[in-house]
Chains A and B, each alone.
Chain A
Amino acid sequence: MSDVAAPKLVRAPALRRALEGTPWRRFVILGGFALAWELYARWLDNALLLPTLGATLSALWSAVLSGELPNRALTSLRVLITGYALGVAVAAVLTTLAALSRWGNEALGLLTSMFNPLPAIALLPIALLWFGVGTPSLIFVIVHSVLWPVALACYGGFLAVPPTLRMAGRNLGLSGGRFVAEILVPAAFPQILSGLRIGWAFAWRTLIAAELVFGVSARSGGIGWFIYTSRAQLETASVFAGLLTVILIGLLVEGVIFRSLTRITVQRWGQVQT
Chain B
Amino acid sequence: MNVAPRLTGLVGDTALPSLLELDHVSISYPTPDGILTAVEDVSFSIAAGERLVLLGPSGCGKSTLLRAVGGFLKPSAGEIRMNGRRIGAPGPDRMTVFQEFDQLLPWRTVLGNVRYALERGKSMPRRDAEAIARRWLERVGLKNFVDAFPHTLSGGMKQRVAIARAFALEPALLLMDEPFAALDALTRRQMQDELLKLCEETGNTALFVTHGIDEAIRVGTRILALTPHPGRLAATFDVPPDTRARGSSGFGELERRIQETVFSAPEIDHV
Whether chains A and B associate is yes
Most buried by B among A5, A6, A171: A171
Selected from A3, A162, A172, A189, the residue in CB contact (under 8 A) with B92 is A172
Residue pair A164, B106 in contact (C-beta under 8 Å): no
Most buried by A among B89, B105, B152, B197: B105
Residue pair B145, A6 in contact (C-beta under 8 Å): yes
Residue pair A269, B160 in contact (C-beta under 8 Å): no
* B220 interfacial by beta-carbon distance below 8 Å: no
Residue pair B98, A173 in contact (C-beta under 8 Å): no
Total A-B contacts with CB atoms under 8 angstroms apart: 88
Interface size of A by Cβ–Cβ distance < 8 Å?
27
User: Which residues of A from 250 to 274 have beta carbons under 8 Å from B?
Assistant: 265, 268-271
Residue pair A167, B72 in contact (C-beta under 8 Å): yes
Knowing A171-B95, A172-B117, A268-B149 are in contact, say whether A1-B198 is a contact too (CB < 8 A). yes
* B255 interfacial by beta-carbon distance below 8 Å: no
* A223 interfacial by beta-carbon distance below 8 Å: no
Give the residues in chain B near A269, CB-CB below 8 Å. Answer: 106-107, 149, 151
Q: Could you say which interface size class chain B belongs to?
A: 35 or more
Contact with B along A168-189 (1 / 0, CB 8 A): 1011111100000011001101
User: Which residues of B from 159 to 180 have beta carbons under 8 Å from A?
Assistant: 160
Smallest Cβ distance from A156 to chain B, in angstroms? Answer: 18
Give the residues in chain B near A182, CB-CB below 8 Å. Answer: 120
Give the residues in chain B near A268, CB-CB below 8 Å. Answer: 149
Selected from A1, A6, A187, A265, the residue in CB contact (under 8 A) with B140 is A1
Smallest Cβ distance from B152 to chain A, in angstroms? Answer: 7
* A2 interfacial by beta-carbon distance below 8 Å: yes
* B90 interfacial by beta-carbon distance below 8 Å: yes
* B143 interfacial by beta-carbon distance below 8 Å: yes
* B194 interfacial by beta-carbon distance below 8 Å: yes
User: Which residues of B from 76 to 112 have beta carbons under 8 Å from A?
Assistant: 89-92, 94-96, 98, 100, 102-107
Give the residues in chain B near A175, CB-CB below 8 Å. Answer: 89
User: Which residues of B from 174 to 230 have beta carbons under 8 Å from A?
Assistant: 194, 197-198
> A107 CA to B142 CA in the complex, in Å?
46
> A3 CA to B157 CA in the complex, in Å?
10
The chain B residue with its CB closest to the CB of A2 is B141
Smallest Cβ distance from A8 to chain B, in angstroms? Answer: 12
* B125 interfacial by beta-carbon distance below 8 Å: no
User: Which residues of A from 172 to 211 have beta carbons under 8 Å from B?
Assistant: 172-175, 182-183, 186-187, 189
> A242 CA to B47 CA in the complex, in Å?
76
* A129 interfacial by beta-carbon distance below 8 Å: no
* A65 interfacial by beta-carbon distance below 8 Å: no
> A259 CA to B143 CA in the complex, in Å?
32
Most buried by B among A1, A165, A167, A268: A1
* A247 interfacial by beta-carbon distance below 8 Å: no
* A4 interfacial by beta-carbon distance below 8 Å: yes
Give the residues in chain A near B151, CB-CB below 8 Å. Answer: 269-271
Give the residues in chain A near B105, CB-CB below 8 Å. Answer: 165, 168, 183, 186-187
Residues of B within 8 A of A (CB): 70-72, 89-92, 94-96, 98, 100, 102-107, 117, 120-121, 139-145, 149-152, 157, 160, 194, 197-198
6 further A-B contacts with Cβ under 8 Å, apart from A1-B198, A168-B104, A189-B107, are: A2-B141, A170-B71, A171-B70, A172-B92, A174-B120, A271-B151
Q: Which 8 A-B pairs have the closest CB atoms?
A: A270-B151, A1-B141, A164-B100, A1-B194, A172-B121, A186-B107, A6-B144, A170-B90
11 A-B pairs whose Cβ atoms sit less than 8 Å apart in the complex: A1-B141, A3-B143, A4-B144, A4-B157, A167-B90, A168-B98, A170-B71, A170-B89, A171-B91, A173-B120, A265-B107
